[in-house]
Copies of this chain bind each other. A is one copy, B any other.
Amino acid sequence: MIYITRETHFCAAHKLWNEKWSKEKNFEVFGPCANENWHGHNFDMRVTVKGKPDPKTGFVINFKDLKQLVNEEIIYKVDHKNLNIDVPFLEGKLTSCETLVVEFWNILAPKILKMTDGQVALHCIKLTETKNNYAEYYGE
């Protein structure tokens, strides 16, 4: 079993805000991340898959195909967008790093299995929000 990682990037606006709470409560919990007019980040996303190399190519998965899948399913939908407003699959959800890695996983995991006839599985989504903070999800 070999693990292959592709790093991609997107720039997006968001805010952390619980609609059921008062403005005061939101600022108390989320601090400056609750700024009403949004703030934003350069997000780095690492998608790791696992499988056995194909003896004909030496590849677990062709990076070209993995890159295209991640771009079409995630990057083109979140890059240069507002995560709270512009992204259908995030509608009504909190846009914390923790939520994002789970939502990205739920989209990519079945598609990677299908694209490879079950030979390659998604292993981890890692999302870095700032130089000092990141979240990882392994599907369970």
Contact = CB atoms under 8 A, between A and B. Distances in A.
A84 B7 CA distance: 26
Contacts of A98: 2, 4, 53, 58-60
Contact of A13 (B3, B18, B40, B62): B40
A29 interface: yes
Contact of A1 (B12, B80, B140): B140
B81 A35 contact: yes
User: Which residue, of A14, A38, A79, A85, has the highest number of chain B Cβ atoms within 10 A?
Assistant: A38
A20 B58 CA distance: 13
A63 interface: yes
A32 B79 CA distance: 8
Interface of A: 1-9, 11-14, 16, 18, 20, 29-33, 35, 37-42, 48, 53, 56-60, 62-64, 79-82, 85-86, 93-99, 101-102, 130-138, 140
